[in-house]
Amino acid sequence: MAVRDPTGFLRREYEQLVENELDWKLRVLDGPSLPRCVVDGRKVLMLCSNNYLSMSNHPKVKRAAIDAIKTHGAGSGSVRPIAGNMDLHVELERRLARFKDAEASLVYQTGFAANAGLIPQLADAGDLIVSDELNHGSIIDGVRLSKADRAVYKHCDAEDLKKVLEKAEEHSPAYRRVLIITDGVFSMDGDIAPLDGIAAQAHDHGAMVYVDDAHGEGVLGKGGRGIVSHFMLRREEVQVEMGTFSKAFGVVGGHVSGSRDLVNYALNKSRTWLLSGSHPPAVAAACIAAIDVLEKEPEHVRDLWVNTEYFRKGIRSMGFDTGKSQTPIVPVMIGESGAAKKFSSRLFELGIFALPIVFPMVARDKARIRTIMNSALTRKDLDEALAAFQKVGKELGLL
């Protein structure tokens, strides 16, 4: 009998990824995530971090984390339903709910855990989930974990959503409930979901709305309060507002905000929340401090948008296509995956750290260099980055 190799597929499939230039080669950040940092031993300008407001290095945020270790220790010791529910976790949720102008908030271990844990509990067999065709992978995985029927509407198209909802009303037997899910800001293109139109369609058809605002918090709305604030929607128009502390807040963790009923339901039903250890005290305290900074120092959000408009205008003036970008996510469209990787490597040689986004994260002919702006970038930084993009674009025959 032949000896089987049960793990041989691992190497074969990885080598195929390498051959097709679809593998990830991980670089190492030596030190903090700053606009000027060291990656793989090289001093570079950081243009691909989600740390929009440079909050991870704010003195108040760092001090809060250090103080919490002194008072509460390094870890919580348990999951929250048993013995890991610290006063810092409770205070964080109270502060977040106030910031979001919601009845209540619930903090998950990550944003992915929030989507994977809550979505399948909100819709089950006999229900329907309606999803934007370009939703984030964590939403897709959350939907796959549900036994509900699924439908997709065209990207950011409220009129197509209307057609999908009208067709759903013809289903027999009638669906018990319908859940509409969308990203707030789409992470690959930097465009904004038409949440006002989505909420209107949901109202007309008796559906719930779930928005993943991971890239909208700290960016959109009054003082960075997110997409619901941006569109000035009432809290009852968007039933579930999900977000993350790992981007503009500069720390880590996911969360949902909405009604008290939502939070009570979520904490009793989400296994990713129930069965995962709670955040270390330093993380919870740092998140509270980040909310404090957002409330008291509006200049960070203002500077982020000033930098975004300056960089996007400069890139476009060269002849680059930035796609549908409306936010500090500014993709520089390249086209072919190999060309995007060469472009990124050459930028790195010039001291600019900006990663290529290639298939299967985007369509085969839609590879791009995804840049993400930061409030702490200076005009000198931006001019240096623009000069590098222009130089590489000419070298590779793209300009």
Instruction: Looking at 332-378, list the stretches that DSSP marks H as alpha helix, in order from N- to C-terminal side.
Output: 337-349
100, 136, 230, 247: the active-site residue: 247
Q: 151: closest CA among 177, 179, 114, 187?
A: 179
**Residue 187 is among the residues annotated as catalytic for this protein:** yes
Q: 90: closest CA among 78, 107, 68?
A: 107
- The 3-state secondary structure of 186-254 reads CCCCCCECCHHHHHHHHHHHCCEEEEECCCCCCCCCHHHCCHHHHCCCCHHHCCEEEEECCCCCCCCCE
CA distance 131 to 36: 38
CA distance 60 to 68: 12
Q: Which residues pair with 257 in a beta bridge?
A: 105, 241
Q: Which residues pair with 256 in a beta bridge?
A: 106, 242
Lookup: tokens for 70:
């002194």
CA distance 333 to 86: 46
Residue type, 311: F
Start-to-end CA distance of the chain, whole Å, equals 60
- DSSP calls for 89-125: HHHHHHHHHHHHT-SEEEEES-HHHHHHHHHHHHS-T
**Residue 154 is among the residues annotated as catalytic for this protein:** no
SS3 301: helix
CA distance 353 to 43: 9
187, 229, 246, 278: the active-site residue: 187
DSSP 131: E
215, 255, 341, 366: the active-site residue: 215
Task: Specify whether the CB–CB gap between 28 and 39 falls below 8 A.
Answer: yes
**Residue 246 is among the residues annotated as catalytic for this protein:** no
C-beta neighbour count of 316 within 10 angstroms = 14
Q: Is the peptide bond before 173 cis (omega within 30 degrees of 0)?
A: yes
Q: 179: closest CA among 222, 154, 211, 156?
A: 211
What residues are annotated to the active site?
Answer: 187, 215, 247
